[in-house]
Amino acid sequence: MRIMSRRDFVKVTGTGLALTTIPGFMQKTLAGMAGGSQPHELYFQRFGVDPETIRKVMAEALAHGGDYCDIFFQNTLSNSIRVEDNIVNSASTEVELGVGIRVLKGDQTGYSFTEDLSLNSMKAAARTAANIASGSKRVPPTELKAIDLTNHYQTNLSYEDVGVQNVVSMLKSVNDAIFQQDSRVVKAGLRYSDSENYILIANSLGEFATDYQPMIRLISFCTAEQNGSRESNYFDYAARDDFNFLTPERLERMPREVVARTLKLFEAQPSPAGELPVVLKAGGAGILLHEAIGHGMEADFNRIGTSIYSEKLNKKVAADFVNIVDNGTNPHIRGTINVDDEGIPSQETFLVEDGILRTYLHDRISAKHYGLEPTGNGRRQSFKHNPMPRMRNTYMLNGPHTFDEIVSNVKYGIIADQFTNGQVNIGPGDFTFYVKSGALIENGKVTAPIKDVNIIGNGPKVLEEVTMVANDLELSEGGWTCGKNGQMVPVSQGMPSCLVSSITVGGRG
């Protein structure tokens, strides 16, 4: 199903259904919402503020001598629809609106937020945040200048204009197709969700930025039975894109993929245990980078010296052909942002270049500490949270080898192709990632499938063990979410196929 003209579409289906609602003063801004290239004025209207109001709030925020303040307005409209037991058994909508006010004094943070966007309420929140400082007042900027941004997720259709019944019919056809794949399928489930995030951020440097951040996600679940045993698996898509992201090709692939992933588990043998060579298949395997190096490179840990990477900048950490980036500009990828939540335009940042550790991921606090420009990694879960250095899309660039060369190089080891979750301890550098499915490699050939095995290693050690990198980089289209200090942000990751020569595989021996 491809939807061409959004306005006509609304008329045809007769919905015009606001799946979501917004406060009265914003309603006039609704027309022409899709696309992410709305004029700035619409954002000011959406939040019922003007530069003068913002200046008044900043005056309160800086009343005790803060070095810097920023004001983060956010309005998020989310919908989800769930299919279970062949029917749409639930749907939900969520509206969030509010403003977070942050005051910095050196590297100290004062933070407060309010869900009430009246001037009095914002001023009260600003006064709370201002208390981190205790000096004489500073003067807010006299004017606000817009920061120029490039749009990395242009869309042509707002989710609202798709119409619930069109989403429902798409879900029903995917659901039916899952059951049609194989008679062993006994249960299927689908969760569709979309979210539109509108932000306006202004700071005491006299700058402001606006952004429209769409996100669509579709997850499929499947359980199958064979000879009295049962297996479940899932497959999902996520993107900063409109409904047309769910192309016929992607929608046809989903049922095939989720069923194949589930049935494969019936053939799985117990994984071997202990230190083994592990081949990571291109794509979601970038979870290794996220945990093994990404978090450790977040500059908040490094500026206080608690990361295992704190002394390794400009040192050789991996083979020459290893290049690792954290990039916020990949079109439509889940971790992409036009601007970070501190008003810094997104960019591509090299963590490792030709095997040498290059740049930490900075927010404003750490960039100031190091005397560097921020890298656009200052992100937050919502207006209820202060920004921190966070990853965007983290991946390794292509290397000199091929997938076949890598596999044929392994005498006895495993190949891992589906990943679910990972974790890291920043200081010691120990990290894990969970392999939902993979296979044994014996004498250079992929043999029996394996499943459900955790892999654990130490970040810098594992980087040294990356001995082959293929030329088949894939960015994951899955719905990855990264948690840090209780805040969740959408990210993605990618990897060319690669060989880790030795790492601990948690099989049963």
Partner 1 sequence: MDIIKKGSAPDKTQLAHWAQKYALEHGADNTSIVISRNRSINVDFRDGQIDKLKESTQNSLWIEIFAGGRYSTHSTNDLRQESLKKFISDAITMTKFLGEDPYQALPDPALYKGRPTMDLELYDANYTKVTPEDRVARARELHDLIQGRDERLISISSGFSDSHYENTHLKSNGFEGNYESSSFSCGASVSLRGENDKKPEGWRYYGARHLNDLPAPQQIADEAFQRALDSMGQQKVKSGKMPLLLENSAAGGLFWRVLYPFTANAIQQKQSFLEGMQGKRIGSEHLTLIDDPVIVRGLGSRYYDGDGIAAKKLVLLEDGILKNYYVDVYYGRKLELKPTTGGASNVTFKTGRRSGAEMEADLDRGILVTGFIGGNANSTTGDFSLGVSGWLIENGQRVQPVSEMNISGNFVELFGSLVETGNDPYTYSSLRSPSLLFDGVSFAGA
Task: Say how far apart CA 61 and CA 141 lie, in whole Å.
Answer: 12
Task: Say how far apart CA 252 and CA 262 lie, in whole Å.
Answer: 17
The most distant pair of C-alpha atoms in the chain lies apart, rounded to whole Å, by 76
- The three-class DSSP label of residue 304 is coil
List all residues 6 or more positions away from 39 whose beta carbon is below 8 Å from its beta carbon.
none
Distance of CA 222 to the CA centre of its chain: 24
b/e map of 138-159 (b: 16 or more CB within 10 Å)?
A: bebbeebeebebeebbbbebbb
Choose between 153 and 419: whose C-beta lies nearer to partner 1: 419
- What minimum distance in Å lies between the beta carbon of 386 and partner 1? 7
- In contact, 327 and 396? CB cutoff 8 Å: no
- The three-class DSSP label of residue 426 is coil
Task: Say how far apart CA 93 and CA 84 lie, in whole Å.
Answer: 18
Choose between 61 and 333: whose C-beta lies nearer to partner 1: 61
Choose between 14 and 248: whose C-beta lies nearer to partner 1: 14
Choose between 117 and 475: whose C-beta lies nearer to partner 1: 117
Q: Which of 235, 268, 272 is nearest to 254 (CA)?
A: 235
Choose between 125 and 406: whose C-beta lies nearer to partner 1: 125
- What minimum distance in Å lies between the beta carbon of 508 and partner 1? 4
Q: How far is CA 346 from CA 147, 339, 401, in A?
A: 12, 5, 31
The stretches of 200-277 forming alpha helices (DSSP H) are: 248-264
- What minimum distance in Å lies between the beta carbon of 150 and partner 1? 31
- What minimum distance in Å lies between the beta carbon of 124 and partner 1? 9
Q: For residue 177, give the DSSP letter.
A: H
- What minimum distance in Å lies between the beta carbon of 107 and partner 1? 8
- What minimum distance in Å lies between the beta carbon of 482 and partner 1? 13
User: For residue 210, what are its two tokens?
Assistant: 């606006």
Positive or negative, the Cα torsion across 374, 377, 382, 386? negative
- What minimum distance in Å lies between the beta carbon of 447 and partner 1? 20
- The three-class DSSP label of residue 62 is coil
- What minimum distance in Å lies between the beta carbon of 148 and partner 1? 31
Task: Say how far apart CA 121 and CA 114 lie, in whole Å.
Answer: 7
Choose between 310 and 398: whose C-beta lies nearer to partner 1: 310
Distance of CA 137 to the CA centre of its chain: 38
Task: Say how far apart CA 431 and CA 450 lie, in whole Å.
Answer: 21
Choose between 244 and 420: whose C-beta lies nearer to partner 1: 420
Choose between 336 and 382: whose C-beta lies nearer to partner 1: 382
User: For residue 352, what are its two tokens?
Assistant: 């490792």
| β partners of residue 492 | 393
- What minimum distance in Å lies between the beta carbon of 132 and partner 1? 5
CA angle 273, 278, 279 (to 5 degrees): 150
Choose between 426 and 473: whose C-beta lies nearer to partner 1: 426
CA angle 52, 57, 58 (to 5 degrees): 95
Choose between 371 and 509: whose C-beta lies nearer to partner 1: 509
Choose between 37 and 86: whose C-beta lies nearer to partner 1: 86
Choose between 138 and 436: whose C-beta lies nearer to partner 1: 436
User: Angle between the 164-181 and 248-264 helix axes, to the nearest 10 degrees?
Assistant: 40
CA angle 181, 183, 184 (to 5 degrees): 105
- What minimum distance in Å lies between the beta carbon of 404 and partner 1? 29
- What minimum distance in Å lies between the beta carbon of 159 and partner 1? 13
Choose between 400 and 483: whose C-beta lies nearer to partner 1: 483
Query: What is the 3-class SS of 438-467, one letter each residue?
Result: EEEEECCEEEEEEEEEEEEEEHHHHHHCEE
- What minimum distance in Å lies between the beta carbon of 458 and partner 1? 6
